[in-house]
Amino acid sequence: MSDPEVPDAIKKLKDAVEKNPEDGQAYLELGNAWLKELNGTEALDAFQKATRLQPDCAEAYFGLAKSFDALQRYEEMLDAFKEACWLKPDWPEAHYNLGLGYMVVGLYEDALEPLKEAVKVKPEYAEAHRVLSLVFKMTGFDEQSVFHKKEAARLNPDFAG
């Protein structure tokens, strides 16, 4: 652990999981720390351990999905986002990111449902309205696109125009 490239916060978290390898929360925090460092491989390892230790933890699956995304393992990314949505259906960011994941792989029509769910769960989610507007436009639903574009601009004036 004397690697000068590893931030102190990660060193402390690695120490914590070494002392208590059954601490799923510590693995979750370690995974998030690795994601902040843009290290998908290390993050993936931590989140896989977190999901094994806390199989009902939506945040662990969300982090797992982000790790798969960083490693361009998109099918696994989608599966992990789906699991996060299933475990925590009232979490709009999980639905939003599942929608973005579908967009990454070019499945725009599949992106519609999770994006609609994100704005259903959190009607004031301006970014989700903005992206939903784009996906509606790309899939030929102009009227819905205009509605969500206006809603995004109403909620966040930065999205006007």
One DSSP character per residue, the chain reads: ---TTS-HHHHHHHHHHHH-TT-HHHHHHHHHHHHHTT-HHHHHHHHHHHHHH-TT-HHHHHHHHHHHHHTT-HHHHHHHHHHHHHH-TT-HHHHHHHHHHHHHTT-HHHHHHHHHHHHHH-TT-HHHHHHHHHHHHHTT-HHHHHHHHHHHHHH-GGG--
Q: In the CATH scheme, what is the homologous superfamily, with its name and number, of domain 89-161?
A: Tetratricopeptide repeat domain (1.25.40.10)
| Percent of the chain's residues with pLDDT above 70 | 96
User: What are the tens digits of pLDDT across the range 57-109?
Assistant: 999 999 999 999 999 999 999 999 999 999 999 999 999 999 999 999 999 99
Residues of the chain with CATH 1.25.40.10: 1-74, 89-161
User: What are the tens digits of pLDDT across the range 4-14?
Assistant: 567 888 999 99
Hey, which CATH number is domain 1-74, 3.40.30.10, 3.30.300.30, 3.40.50.300, 1.25.40.10?
A: 1.25.40.10
**pLDDT at residue 4, rounded to an integer:** 57
- State the average pLDDT for the chain: 95
The pTM assigned to this predicted structure is: 0.91
pLDDT at residue 29 above 50? yes
**pLDDT at residue 94, rounded to an integer:** 98
**pLDDT at residue 5, rounded to an integer:** 65
